[in-house]
Amino acid sequence: MSKLLNRVLAGGGLVGMSQMAGATGGLDFTAVTAAIDATTIVAAISAIAAIRILPGVAKWGYGKVLSWFR
């Protein structure tokens, strides 16, 4: 997951590279940070949590349904 995040951030940095030079000659990272939204981060964390939790829930549910027929 870290490699994917690094690629996304690097891609956003390359796209906004021409806009990053500020009036004072310093770097302006607003183009990069504006692309990263809080809802995107929450959705990504929720998706990772679902991927980690769902196999255990499915196994528990499968066992529960089988126990009804024993």
pTM here is 0.43
List all residues 6 or more positions away from 36 whose beta carbon is below 8 Å from its beta carbon.
9, 12
For 37-67, write each residue's pLDDT tens digit.
888 889 999 999 999 999 999 999 999 999 9
The reported pLDDT for the residue numbered 47 is 96
Separation of alpha carbons 33 and 12, rounded Å: 9
Residues 31 and 16 sit within 8 Å (Cβ to Cβ) = yes
The reported pLDDT for the residue numbered 3 is 72
